[in-house]
């Protein structure tokens, strides 16, 4: 039977590796909050470029399959063995190169993507929460649903960070301020539901490594969201995204790293490698 603490360690290890990447990116100046924000912007821009490259690669693959199928040649094994095997790992590498070599082009795309997806995600979350109520599904008794709920939460949290840090010149419009405030507010509701569900499961079936890890992560994200919402509310009154919002993002990031290290190194001892 696989060890839950080992699986949790493997899940949280990428966060530690991401912190190592941040250390290299910032030139060992991790204590500089502005360097941390530059690293967050780099990650957001890299995701945008990687997504564009994946879409283009997917279209090329579909067209190629169709063309070769018309002449009776099946190129799928060749694509899987050579193109996908080498192409997919190359996407983040080429994406990082494009972000570094064409910073002005990428910096124009990222804020636009953030402005487009922020209202769409808000509408999606509202509709999704209403649908959850009417569907009868709940994260309290459905373990898989709770897991997907937390994955959704992490994705929205990433969008919140990206939306705030995407524009380094703080030129977000007044409507953009309210959208960001609404997004963080709705995300707090989603987080509160997920946290209440995991607390319910702990009270009903006891504490396990998985439940404790999820509970700790949800508590950290909830506290961070509340801090961001407060700073955004203050910024709305000031009519611009103040540096305090960005600082609130950057200064909190090491807490996630500390939690990941606890899960990796302390949980196995705490739960006897269960």
Q: Which residues of 187-207 are buried (b: 16+ CB within 10 A; e: fewer)?
A: bbebbebbbebbeebeeeeee
d(Cα 246, Cα 241) in Å, to the nearest integer?
Answer: 8
171: enclosing H helix or E strand = none
pTM of the model: 0.85
Structure tokens at 80: 């899987």
Task: Centre a 10 Å sphere on the Cβ of residue 70 and count the other Cβ atoms it contains.
Answer: 8
Q: What is the pLDDT along the chain (274 residues), one digit of tens a residue?
A: 578 899 999 999 999 999 999 988 888 777 888 888 888 888 888 888 888 888 888 888 888 888 888 888 888 888 878 788 888 888 888 888 888 888 777 777 767 777 788 888 888 888 888 887 787 777 777 777 777 778 888 888 787 777 776 665 555 556 777 888 888 888 888 888 888 989 988 998 888 899 999 999 999 988 998 888 888 888 777 655 557 777 888 888 899 999 999 999 999 998 888 7
Chain mean position to CA 216: 17
d(Cα 199, Cα 211) in Å, to the nearest integer?
Answer: 8
Structure tokens at 88: 């997919």
């Amino acid at each position: 039977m696989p060890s839950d603490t080992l699986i949790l360690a493997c899940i949280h290890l990428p966060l530690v590796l991401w912190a190592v990447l941040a250390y290299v990116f910032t030139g060992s100046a991790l204590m500089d909050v502005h360097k941390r924000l530059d690293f967050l912007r780099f990650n957001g821009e890299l995701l945008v470029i990687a997504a564009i490259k994946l879409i283009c690669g997917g279209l090329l693959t579909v067209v190629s399959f169709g063309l070769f199928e018309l002449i009776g040649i099946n190129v799928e094994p060749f694509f899987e063995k050579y193109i996908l095997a080498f192409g997919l790992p190359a996407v983040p590498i080429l994406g990082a190169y494009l972000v570094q070599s064409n910073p002005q082009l990428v910096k124009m795309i990222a804020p636009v993507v953030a402005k487009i997806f922020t209202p769409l995600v808000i509408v999606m979350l509202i509709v999704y929460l209403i649908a959850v109520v009417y569907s009868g599904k709940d994260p309290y008794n459905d373990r898989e649903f709770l897991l997907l709920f937390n994955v959704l939460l992490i994705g929205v949290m990433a969008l919140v960070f990206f939306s705030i840090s995407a524009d380094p010149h703080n030129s977000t419009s007044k409507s953009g301020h309210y959208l960001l405030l609404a997004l963080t507010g709705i995300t707090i509701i989603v987080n509160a539901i997920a946290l209440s569900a995991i607390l319910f499961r702990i009270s009903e079936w006891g504490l396990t490594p998985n439940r404790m890890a999820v509970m700790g992560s949800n508590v950290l994200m909830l506290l961070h969201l509340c801090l961001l919402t407060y700073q955004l509310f203050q910024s709305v009154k000031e009519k611009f995204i103040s540096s305090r919002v960005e600082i609130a993002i950057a200064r909190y990031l090491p807490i996630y790293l500390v939690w990941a290290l606890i899960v990796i190194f302390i949980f196995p001892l705490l739960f006897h490698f269960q």
